[in-house]
A and B are shown apart, each in its own frame.
Chain A
Amino acid sequence: MEAFYFVPEMLFYAISGLILLSSIMVVAARNPVTSAIFLVVDLFFVAALYAQLDAHFTAAIQVLVYAGAIVVLFVFVIMILNLKPDALRGIRFSLGEALVLLITLAGFVIVGSELAHTAPDLTMPGNLGSAAIEMAGGNTYVVAMRMFTAFLWPFEIASVLILLAIVACVMIAKKDKRVTKS
């Protein structure tokens, strides 16, 4: 097993390359459908990255909900509205906006490297390594146990959030029809 540590490493670089490429394509593509499909590819490979980090449940949810549901919604809306490809020519690149991007990048580099160096000190008690997670009954089990004990309130509030989203969507999307009917 020792001799094969290069396999995950190689895969990591390949997957990251694909993620970056598809992220750029999402932003740069003229046609919204192209963007949406690259978004699916992006989300799929991010899920692969999660699986590599032993977060199998999160990876499955990423594909199920993100790639398989949220982007479907985007595709539906693009098809319903019959959007044409954008003209990308008129895009101005002001100094301020470039500066924002640069500052964000710098901020990430600083915070990221700081975190990476000090992170081991942040390790909290009651932690679980990947071997320990396997012993405890697998990733799904551990996530579920933690979710329904420590994260009980956020979980219940999430349902309220979903309820609000349902009501809001129906109200906004159905509004016009009612006006025309009366």
Chain B
Amino acid sequence: MNPYIPVIIVLIFGVVLGGILSGLAAFLGPKKYSREKMDPYECGVPKVTAGSEKMSVKFYLTAILFILFDIETVFLYLWARTFKELGWLGIIEIAVFVLILVVGYIYVVRRGALEWD
């Protein structure tokens, strides 16, 4: 059996289970509405500004670097799977690939894109 069939069944199950857990409270718990209670908790005091504000662009830079290194990891896995068969040729190929990316990594570190302050 192609493994995607069980995966899809498990996926459906997981979503249903999450949904049940998520929906359980709505059916079982008491419901008493009060204006104060429904206010977002935040940190315990009445809120001063709106619920969401602009966030640091740092998160975005992290996400970008994540994508690019994620792809690198994928290619590394692909090479690792055929390491034995490719031999030294494969090592040279992947070395060039990694070296080019290391240049990018050094640039990012030098520019201070990874500094959190």
Residue pair A140, B68 in contact (C-beta under 8 Å): no
Given A11-B5, A64-B70, does the pair A166, B79 have CB atoms closer than 8 Å? no
Residue pair A173, B60 in contact (C-beta under 8 Å): yes
A-B contact count (CB 8 A): 126
Residue pair A160, B63 in contact (C-beta under 8 Å): no
Q: Name the residue among A56, A65, A73, A166 with the largest chain B CB count within 10 angstroms.
A: A166
Residue pair B65, A166 in contact (C-beta under 8 Å): yes
A28 within 8 A of B: no
Q: What class of interface size applies to chain A in its complex with B?
A: 35 or more
Q: What class of interface size applies to chain B in its complex with A?
A: 35 or more
Q: Which of these, A80, A144, A165, contacts B78 with CB under 8 Å?
A: A144
Residue pair A165, B68 in contact (C-beta under 8 Å): yes
Given A80-B60, A148-B82, does the pair A61, B74 have CB atoms closer than 8 Å? yes
Measured between beta carbons, the chain B residues less than 8 angstroms from A165 are 64, 68
Q: Given the complex of chains A and B, what is the CA–CA distance between A159 and B112 in angstroms?
A: 22
Q: Given the complex of chains A and B, what is the CA–CA distance between A93 and B2 in angstroms?
A: 44
